[in-house]
Structure 1
Amino acid sequence: MAGLSRRTFVTGTSVAATWAALSLGGAQFASAAARERALAATAARAVQVTGTTLDQVATPVGSGAYKRLTAGPGWPLVVRGDLAAPGSGRDDRRTGLASFVQFSDLHLVDTESPVRFEYLARFTGAAYRPQETLNARGVSALVERVNSLPGGPYTGMPFSMVMATGDNTDNHEHAELDWYLTVMGGGRLAQNTGDPAAYEGVQNSGSGIYWNPELTFQDEYKAKGFPQVPGFLTAAGRPFDAPGLRMPWYTTVGNHDDSLEGSLPDFGLLNDLYTGEYKLEGCNDAEAAQLMESLRRDPAGAALLLGKLLATGDLVRQITPDERRRPFTLKEFAKAHLNPAVTGAGPYGHGFTSDMVSSGKLYYTFRISEKVVGISLDTTNQAGFADGSLGTAQLRWLEQQLKAHSGHWYDTDGRKVTGGSTDELILVFSHHTSTSMGNLLPDPRNIFEKRHDGNELVALLQRYPNVVAWVNGHTHANKITAHGHAVPERAFWEINTASHIDYPQHGRIIEIADNGDGTLSLFTTLIESAAPYGTDFGSTSDTNLAALYRELSYNDPNGRVSALLGSGQDHNTELLITKPTR
C-alpha cells in the first residue's frame, strides 16, 4: 500500500470504482480485501498518512470485560458529496489553501479538588473517569503527535496553527489553567494540588465505587477487569516535561472554563470550598439524586446543597488546602494567556488581547492562512447549565466580521448584496454546536441582553457564501453535519470533534483545498496521541502512563464509546462544497 502513487491509482481505476472505494469509510466491509482496497485508495490520494487514523487506529483485543488496545487497520477516507458533487481528476488540480489542527475538550482536571461531584458518576459519567489523573500526560502526548507530523495528509501543507475549541479546563481553577497553558506552550508541570508528596482524591479513598489502582481490594472497577498498578497515583502526580506545540495556537472559551463543573453559575460563593480542607467523597442515594436534580434544574440550589454536604456529610475527607484551586473569571482566563512566559510558538495572547481582558468580550478574528480567516466565538452563558448561546452584541459583531471578509452576501429577504473588494474563505470556531445552543437564560454579564440560539447562528452563516465551515466541540463526539443542501451558495459544513478526556481522545486535522473546478474540498483527518497502544501494568514510566490514559478511557464503564466515536462519515472525510464566487 505504501508503494502506491496517487497518480498510478487514479489513472488505473475508474472514477466510479474510486468513488465506491472511498465511500466505504467506517462501514462494515464485506471482507478484509475490501478494507484493504479502500485503504489503498485512501493512501493513493494522500501525500502521506503516517501518524494519522488513515494509517492505524486503536483497536480492542481480548475476550474479557477489560479490553487491551493494539494498532488496528486505519479508517479509509469517506467522500461526502452532500453539498457538491466530486469531480474527476480533482486530485491532480488540487491547490492547498489552509492546513491546521483542532483540539477540543481537553479538560485539564484537578482530581483532588473539593468542588467535584465524583459520587454522581452513577448519573453522569462525566463526574468521574478512571483515567482522569493521567489527563495532563495524555494531552501532552497529543501535542507530541502534532509536533511529529510534517503537515496535512492531503495538501502536504505544514500546520499554520492549532485551535482548542473550549473546555480547556475542567472546573475553571487557576491550577488547571496553568496546566493547560503549560501543556500547550511547553514546560514542567505536575498534575497535583494540595500536598505535593501525596494524592488526596477519590482513587485512594477505599470506596468501592471508584477505581483504587494501588489498593488490593476488589472495587467495582477491578470487578470489571481493571488492574492494580503499584505506584500509579504517586507517578501520576509527579512532575514531567511537556514539549509544547511547535506552531502557533489559539484558544476558544468553553462552559467548563467559566462555571462550576461546566454547569453551575459561579458568583464566588464557593471560593472558600475550592481552596479549603474538606472534600466530599460520597453521599447516600437520596442526597445524590437530589444533587443531580438540582444540577439539572436549579444550579444555585445545587451549589448550596454541595456546601451543606461538605459541612455535614459522613464521607468527608480532610485534605491539604491550596490557593491554586481558586476559580478564575473569564477576564482572568484571558489575562493568563497574555503572560509572556506562555507565548511559546505564539501568537502573543493566543487570540486574546488586553482590551478583551478589560471588556470580558472573548471573541476575535484571526488569520489562518493567506486566503482563510478564522472567527472565534464565546458561546458560554454564565447563567448556568452546560449549553450555550450568543448575546445580541456578539451576534452583531459577528455579522460585521462576516461582511468585512465577504465580497457579497444575502440580506434577510434573500437579496444579494455586493460588499467590498475583500473576498476570503471564513471558518467559524466555537465551543458549542448548533444543537447545543439553546440556553437562552439571561446572562449575568448583561442581564437585559437577548440571547440567540444555534438556529439563528446557522441562519446567519448561511447568508454568507464565504463561510465554508463551523468547527466546534462540547458534545465529546465526532459528528459532521451538512447545512444548506437546497442552495449551494448557502451551504457550509459543521465539524464537531470528540474530546481528549473521554475515548476516543481524538484531535482533528482540517485542510482546505481548491479543486480547480468550482469546488473546494475540506479534508478532515482524525489523529490519536503519540502514546503507544500497548500498556504495561507493572510500569509507571511517563510513556506508559500516557498509554494507560487511552486504554482506561476505552474501558470506563460509564463511558459511551460507540456514541462518541461517530461513524465513518464523521471520521476521515473529504467534504465537498461549492467555491464562492462574486
Structure 2
Amino acid sequence: MSRTRSAAVSAAAVSAAAALDRRTLLAAAGAVGVSAGLGLAFGPGGSPAQATPPPTGRLAGAAAARATAPAPATTAPAAAPSKAGTTLDTVSAPRGSGGYRRLADGPAWPRAVRHELAAAKSGRADRRTALASFVQFTDLHVVDVQHPLRYEFLRAQTASAWRPQEALSVAGAVSLVERVNALSGGPATGMPLSFVMTTGDNTDNNSRTELEWFLTAMSGGRITPNSGDPHRYEGVQNSGLDLYWQPESERRDGDKRLGFPRIDGFLDAAIRQVNSPGLRMPWYSTVGNHDSLPGGCYAPGDGFFAEFAVGGRKLETLPEAEGAALWKAVKKGLDPKGEQFREVLKTSRRKMRSVTPDPGRAPFTPREYLQAHLDPRFTGAGPVGHGHTAADLAAGRLHYVFRISDDVIGVSLDTTDPGGHYEGSLGTAQLRWLDRVLTEHKGRHALVFSHHTSRTMRNLRPDPARPDERRHGGEEVLALLGRHRNVAAWINGHSHKNDITPHGTFWEISTASHIDFPQLARVIELVDNGDGTLSLFTTLIESAAPHRTDFADLSQTGLAALYRELSFNAPGTRATLSGTPGDRNTELLLKKP
C-alpha cells in the first residue's frame, strides 16, 4: 500500500480555521448583503455591482491565505485500495440488440499504464507516497426542464438541445453524491478522498432555480425539481408533439417508435421531492459557460431574455428551416448576443404554449453566483464559499488558488468568454495571474482546473466589460503551463467525453459529463513514485444507482437508474463519449520536476 503524505492538523486548528472562515463570511454579509436565503441573496432584480479587475501584483490576501493555510485534516487512515464502487469493478452495459436496450452489470474497464511522458520503472508500487486523492465532477447540467428560455425545439438539429433523461437530472446528481460518500478511499492508493471539484456546467440554463438545486444537491437538503405550477409539470413531455418522448401518453411519438416505453406516473415522479445527503467531504466549484451565459452561449445581460425566462410563454416547436438556420448561427458563433434567437422568440409568440410564470427562473449574474456559494445554507462540509471568498465577491473574480496538501495546490480558472458563444478563452489579466501563481508556488505540484479543454478555447471575442483586453486561447494556455514544470495536470470537462492527452511535461485530463451516457465522474490520485517520476491515477465512477432498471420503480433510486438507461438510449447520443481504454482508468506517468 502507498504511504500517505497529507497536511493533517489538529482538531483545534480545524475548528479555528472554520471559525475564521465564518467570521470572514459574516463580515462580507454585512458589507454586501449575503443572506441566509438564496432568493434574498440575489435580491429583487439582482442588479450586479460593477466588477473590478483581478489584482495585478502579488497574490491578494485571500488568495494567498487559501494557498498557504493548512489543508483539511485527514482523520481517517489510508484504507486498503479497493475497486468497489468504481468502473474497475463493473460498468453498466446494454443487453440485447436493436431498439430500446436495457442496461445491466457489464465487464470492468481495466487500468491502462501510459508512459508517453516518463518511463514506468519496476518496483514503483513499493516506493510510492500518496500526495493527493480527490474526485472530479463535471457537466452535471442540473436542469429545469420547464424553463421557457430553453431551445428544445432544435432537437432535430442537435441531440444536445433536448434529452429524454433530462427531467431526472437532480435524482442523477444526488445518486452521484451518494456514490462518492460510499467510497472508502482512492482506489489506487487507499488515501482518503479529501475533496470534490466540479469543473463547470453545474447548471444548464443559468437559472437561479437550477443554482439552488445544484448547491443543495452538493451540500445536502431537500430539492423539489419543479418550477412554475407547483402541482403539475408544464413542459415538452406532455406537449403531444412527436418531437419529444411523451412518457405517459399512448401517442406513438418519435422516441416510442424507437422502443421507448410508456411509463405512467413518470412526470409526477420527476417533479417530486428529492433528498440529498450532501457530500461528506469539502467541495470546490469551477464555473462553466452554462453557469454564466443564457443557453450556455449568449452574452449575458439582455433584458429581453431575463424577462422571457420568468414569463408565461414557452416555444416548443419551430419549422425545420428556421431551426436549421438558428442552430447554424449558434454552432458557428455567429449570434453571440442572441439577436437571431430573440427575433425567433418574438415572431413565434402565437405558436407558444402558456405556462405558469416563475421569478425563480431568472438568470443569475457572476456576482450572484458568488453570493450563492457564500450563502451559509450551502456550506455543507465546506469550505465556506467552496473556493470563492468575500474578497472574490468584492473583486468580481471567479478564479482562485487553494491548497490541496503540503505538496500540492489547485488552481481554478474561469474560461467562459462573457462576449458569448459556448467555446472559451482567458483574458490577459487572468492569464498573467495564472503565470504568477504557478511561479510563486514552483516548489509545489500544481493541478489546474477549468471547464473548457485546450481544444475548445478558440473563442477570442472581447469581454464587453473589458473591450481593450486581449483574449487567449488554448494553445497559449498550453504554452504557459508547459513553461512551469510544477504543473502535473490540467483537468477539465465541457466536451462530455473522456480524453487524456500528454503535453510534453503534464497531462490534460478531460472527463465525460454526468448528463450524457456514460454519465461518469473521475477519481484522481497523485503519487510520488520515489524514483524521479510521478503517477496520476484516474478511475471513473458511475452513480450509486443500480445498472438494472424497473419501469414500475419510480422511487428516487429507481429514477436515478432510469436516468442512466434513458441517456444510453437517447437518439443522437455519441457512442464515443466513453473514450478509449487509455482515456478511462489509467496510470499516467510523468517526470518529477
Which among 87, 92, 96 is matched to residue 53 of structure 1?
87
* CA displacement, residues 452-506 of structure 1 (integer Å, 9 cap, x when unaligned): 111111111111111000000010000000001xxxxxx0000000000111110
Alignment deviations for residues 386-410 of structure 1 (CA, whole Å, 9 cap, x no partner): 111010100111111001111xxxx
Checking the alignment, whether the CA contact within 8 Å between 1:291 and 1:306 is kept in structure 2 is no
- Which residue matches 1:558? 572
Counterpart Cα distance in 2 of 1:169 and 1:59: 27
Is 2:354 the partner of 1:318? yes
Distance of 1:301 and 1:557 partners within structure 2: 30
Deviation track 1:298-349 (CA, whole Å, cap 9, x = no partner) reads 3257445445435534531000000000000111101100001100000000
The answer to whether residue 259 in structure 2 is matched with residue 221 in structure 1 is no
Counterpart-to-counterpart distance in 1, 2:339 and 2:243? 23
Cα distance between partner residues in 2 of 1:199 and 1:280: 15
Q: Which amino acid aligns with 2:215?
A: L
| Match of residue 76 from structure 1 | 110
Q: Could you say which residue in structure 2 is the equivalent of 1:355?
A: 391
* Structure 1 ranges of 4+ moved more than 6 A: none
The answer as to 2:285 corresponding to 1:251 is yes
Deviation at 1:293, TM superposition (A): 2.7
Instruction: Give the Cα–Cα distance (whole angstroms) in 1 for the partners of residues 488 and 327 of structure 2.
Output: 39
**Structure 1 residue 426: Cα displacement:** 0.5
CA distance change for structure 1 residues 259 and 62 in 2, over 3 Å: closer, same or farther?
A: same
Instruction: From 528, 540, 548, give the equivalent of 2:542.
Output: 528
Residue in structure 2 matching 1:369, options 401, 405, 415: 405
- Residue 577 of structure 2 aligns to which amino acid in structure 1? L
The equivalent of 2:306 in structure 1 is: 271
2:561 to 543, 547, 559: 547
Q: Is the 8 A contact 1:283 1:314 kept in 2?
A: no
Instruction: Give, in whole Å, the separation in 2 of the partners of 1:253 and 1:79.
Output: 31
Q: Structure 1 301/367 Cα, relative in aligned 2: closer, same or farther at 3 Å?
A: closer
Q: Are 1:405 and 2:405 an aligned pair?
A: no
Aligned counterpart, 1:419: none
Q: Does 1:90 align with 2:124?
A: yes
Aligned with residue 567 of structure 1, among 541, 564, 580: 580
For the 8 Å contact 2:103–2:565, the answer to whether it is kept is yes
In structure 2, distance between residues paired with 1:241 and 1:529: 15
Match for residue 148 of structure 1?
182
Aligned residue identity for 2:147: S
Please give the secondary structure, in 2, of the residue aligned with 1:101. strand
The residue type paired with residue 541 of structure 2 is: I
Q: Aligned with 1:525: secondary structure?
A: strand
Q: Aligned match of 1:382 in 404, 418, 423?
A: 418
Q: Conserved in 2, the CA contact under 8 Å of 1:121 and 1:558? A: no
Deviation at 1:89, TM superposition (A): 1.0
Classify the secondary structure of the residue corresponding to 1:256: helix
Kindly state the Cα deviation for residue 295 of structure 1 after the two structures are TM-superposed.
2.0
Q: CA deviation at 1:221?
A: 0.2
**Identity of aligned pairs, percent?**
55
Contact 1:69 1:533 in 2 (8 A): yes
317 and 534 in structure 1: CA distance in 2 versus 1, 3 angstrom threshold: same
Please say if 1:195 is aligned against 2:216.
no
Residues 242-268 of structure 1: CA distance to partner in whole angstroms, max 9, x if unpaired? 111000000001011111111111223
Structure 1 segment 102-141 matched on structure 2, within 5 A: 102-141=136-175
Q: Take 1:307 and 1:325, find their aligned partners in 2: how far apart are those partners?
A: 21
CA separation of 1:372/1:305 partners in 2, compared to 1, >3 Å: closer, same or farther?
closer
Work out whether residues 278 and 310 of structure 1, in 8 Å CA contact, stay in contact via their aligned partners in 2: no
- Give distance in 2, aligned partners of 1:115 and 1:147: 35
Q: Does 1:292 align with 2:327?
A: yes
SS where residue 217 of structure 2 aligns? helix
Which residue pairs with 1:447 in the alignment?
A: 467
Output the CA distance in 1 between the equivalents of 2:339 and 2:578.
33
Q: Distance in 2 between matches of 1:166 and 1:371?
A: 25
The one of 468, 476, 485 aligned to 1:465: 485
Q: Does 1:309 align with 2:327?
A: no
Distance in 2 between the 1:153 and 1:312 partners? 53
Report what 1:487 is aligned to. Answer: none
Aligned to 1:502: 516
For 1:85, the aligned partner's letter is A
Report 1:420-459 matches (<5 A): 423-459=443-479
Secondary structure in 2 matching 1:140: helix
Determine the C-alpha separation between the residues in 2 that align with 1:385 and 1:301: 8
Aligned residue number for residue 21 of structure 2: none
Q: Is this contact kept in 2: 1:56–1:71, CA < 8 A?
A: yes
Q: Give TM-score, length-normalised by structure 2.
A: 0.85
Pick closer, same or farther for the CA change 1:546–1:310 going to 2, 3 Å. farther
Q: 1:446 deviation in Å?
A: 1.0
Q: Counterparts of 2:122 and 2:527 in 1: how far apart (Å)?
A: 15
What residue number does 2:273 align with?
239
Number of residue pairs the alignment of both structures matches:
515
Unaligned runs of 5+ in 2: 3-79
Q: What letter corresponds to residue 454 of structure 1 in structure 2?
A: G
What secondary structure, in the 3-state scheme, does the structure 2 residue paired with 1:398 have?
helix
SS state of the match for residue 494, structure 1?
strand
The question of whether the paired residues in 1 share the 8 Å contact of 2:545 and 2:561 is answered with: yes
Maintained 8 Å contact 1:340/1:348: yes
The 1-side partners of 2:454 and 2:285 are apart by: 19
Q: Per the alignment, do residues 301 and 465 of structure 1 end up closer, same or farther by CA in structure 2, a change over 3 Å counting? A: closer
Mapped partners of 2:328, 2:534: distance in 1: 47
| Contact 1:351–1:364 (8 Å) recurs in 2 | yes
- When the two chains are superposed, the root-mean-square deviation of aligned CA atoms in Å is 1.5
DSSP 3-state at the match of 2:465: helix
d(CA) in 1 for partners of 2:534, 2:336: 48
Amino acid corresponding to residue 380 of structure 1 in structure 2? T
CA contact (8 A) 1:522 1:574 kept: yes
Deviation at 1:48, TM superposition (A): 1.1
The unaligned stretches of length 5 or more in structure 1 are 7-45, 407-422, 485-490
Aligned counterparts of 2:437 and 2:115: Cα–Cα separation in 1: 29
**Matches of 1:308 and 1:451 in 2, distance apart?**
30
Instruction: State how far apart, in whole Å, the 2-side matches of 1:295 and 1:480 are.
Output: 27
8 Å contact kept, 1:280–1:310: no
Quick one: which amino acid aligns to residue 441 of structure 2?
H
Q: Which residue of structure 2 lines up, in the alignment, with residue 185 of structure 1?
A: 219
- Aligned 8 A contact 1:438 1:454 in 2: yes
Normalised to the residue count of structure 1, the TM-score between the two structures is 0.87
Tell me, in whole angstroms, the C-alpha distance in 1 between the residues paired with 2:339 and 2:380. 37
Residue number in structure 2 paired with 1:30: none
